[in-house]
Amino acid sequence: MQTMIDQLFERLFSDKARRALERITLWLSMCGFIIHLGLIYSIKFDLMPGFAAYPLLQNPISAIYTPFTFILVYEIYLLVLYLPRSFTTSLAKQFEIISLILIRRIFGDIPQVTLDVNWFQTVENLNLMYDLIGVLALYFLIYQFKKDSLNSSKTSDSTKIDRFINSKKGISLILIVCLMGMSAYSFGNWIMELIDQSSFGNINSIFYHDFFELLILADVFILLLSFQYTERYTQILRNTGFVICTILIRLSFGTSGLGNVLLIISSVVFGLAILRIYNLSERSS
């Protein structure tokens, strides 16, 4: 069973598969950008008046939104790839993904900005400011988190590590299948709503709302598995704290504006604090 999991994981997440997906992501990003621009200018010339009310088809700047969407899909693939490595590496990738979602949202905020009124009088202007400040804060906090993760102690029992990693590879394989099904369903459902024009929905939450919910379940399952391989209080508390970070990210999709940005930042701050306390306790012991 262990050999079969290793072989399947290597087939899906090998360097060759990763490079192939990189190339596909690059081409999809460029094609998506061109198609998005084409749709915007088709509406400007009244060739597609039925979609004129759609927020992301009103300004050419919004076309940058599409390449970031494909980049995010690739980042999610990397997250599933990194999941068996360590809790810290996996959480760092989660932070990078949510920061990219925030950056992508900025390109949706910019066309909504109103310059002919006081800057702080409109919700759209304020949302842009919140997102810009949030990205800067996340960039710095993620840098600190990844720097501190290099000082995190490693378990010395290689036999236990191998068994634990193999278990996490099995979870990654299950997760990638679930994510493929979820992404296809979410995208198809959103397209149908767009065609029917019944609801434009919140595109920033499409798929990612369910994705982080599934990720929480995967993290909790890995946390339970880790109890078989360690009884150390510091590691158990660190891993549990990292699951809480994922939950905070998931909760952020239920809010908007300042509340959304604060929840995301609080997730990274909490994770950074947990990691630093863990490193201090390991050095002192």
In this prediction, residue 233 carries a pLDDT of 83
In this prediction, residue 166 carries a pLDDT of 83
Cα four-point dihedral sign 152, 156, 157, 159: positive
In this prediction, residue 202 carries a pLDDT of 55
Lowest mean pLDDT among 38-42, 76-80, 119-123, 138-142: 119-123
In this prediction, residue 205 carries a pLDDT of 57
In this prediction, residue 49 carries a pLDDT of 66
For residue 154, what pLDDT band results from cuts at 50, 70 and 90? low
Rounded distance between C-alpha atoms, residue 197 and residue 121, angstroms: 30
Q: What is the mean pLDDT of the chain?
A: 82
Q: How many residues in total does the chain contain?
A: 285
Please compute the mean of the pLDDT values over residues 119-129 and round it to a whole number. 84
* Residues ≥6 apart with Cβ < 8 Å to 134: 102, 261, 264, 265
CA 99 to chain centre: 7
In this prediction, residue 142 carries a pLDDT of 96
Q: Using the structure block, give the residue that is written with the tokens 């997730």.
A: 267
For residue 275, what pLDDT band results from cuts at 50, 70 and 90? very high
Rounded distance between C-alpha atoms, residue 66 and residue 174, angstroms: 28
SS3 assignment, position 206: coil
Please compute the mean of the pLDDT values over residues 198-214 and round it to a whole number. 64
In this prediction, residue 145 carries a pLDDT of 95
Q: Is the pTM of this model over 0.85?
A: no
For residues 7 and 131, which has the higher predicted lDDT (pLDDT)? 131
For residue 234, what pLDDT band results from cuts at 50, 70 and 90? confident
CA–CA distance from 112 to each of 16, 20, 55, 122, 169 (Å)?
A: 41, 36, 8, 10, 43
For residues 262 and 5, which has the higher predicted lDDT (pLDDT)? 262
In this prediction, residue 134 carries a pLDDT of 94
Lowest mean pLDDT among 139-153, 178-192, 247-261: 178-192
For residue 163, what pLDDT band results from cuts at 50, 70 and 90? confident
Q: How is the chain split into domains, by residue range?
A: 2-284
Residue 157 has pLDDT above 80, yes or no: no
In this predicted model, what pLDDT tens digit does every residue of 237-255 receive, in sequence order? 998 999 999 999 988 888 8
In the numeric block, which tokens belong to residue 66?
A: 């599409």
In this predicted model, what pLDDT tens digit does every residue of 27-75 receive, in sequence order? 988 998 898 888 888 887 777 766 666 766 777 887 887 888 888 888 8
In this predicted model, what pLDDT tens digit does every residue of 89-115 receive, in sequence order? 889 999 999 999 899 888 878 877 777
Q: Quick one: which of 197, 171, 151 has its CA closest to 49? A: 197
